[in-house]
Copies of this chain bind each other. A is one copy, B any other.
Amino acid sequence: MSRPLYHPERDQISLPAVLDAMSDPTRLAIVLYLDRVGESVCGALTPWASKTSLSYHFARLREAGITQSRIEGTYRRISLRRDDLEARFPGLLPQLIDAAKQDPAIAALEDMVAHQDGPAAEPRRKAARPRAK
């Protein structure tokens, strides 16, 4: 877990891979969410799916070149690779985000996290509680 996560080089990003990664409703909602909050962590989205399942989807986005993961302690801070995508396929990412906002099914998914009760977007380091059990 300490070795660097795989990220394709800018020039290696392929259109079929990008579209394939974006063709899943969960992942489209993740991209919409990242577009809105800038940076997030895997665990912020557990309302959508299990931890394992999210790890899988985040890996697919990362391996397609859509996101980058920065390791920070036990967290992975994930964000969109806006500049690389813009360089490789100018205008594509903003266009896909725009289209996703117009698909009710995707927007509804995104709302699940948007209007959540708890502060899931920025998980607070929980002051490691006392031994209590």
Give chain A's interface residues, CB within 8 Å of chain B: 14-17, 19-20, 22-25, 28, 88-92, 95-96, 98-100, 102-103, 105-106
Contacts and interface: CB of A to CB of B under 8 A. Distances in A.
B14 A103 contact: yes
A23 to B, nearest CB: 4
Contact of A15 (B14, B16, B100): B100
Copies in the complex: 2
Contacts of A91: 95, 98
A105 to B, nearest CB: 7
B89 A15 contact: no
Contacts of A20: 19-20, 23
Given A95-B91, A98-B91, A103-B14, A22 B19 contact: yes
Nearest to A98: B91
A65 B121 CA distance: 35
Contacts of A92: 95-96, 99
A32 to B, nearest CB: 11
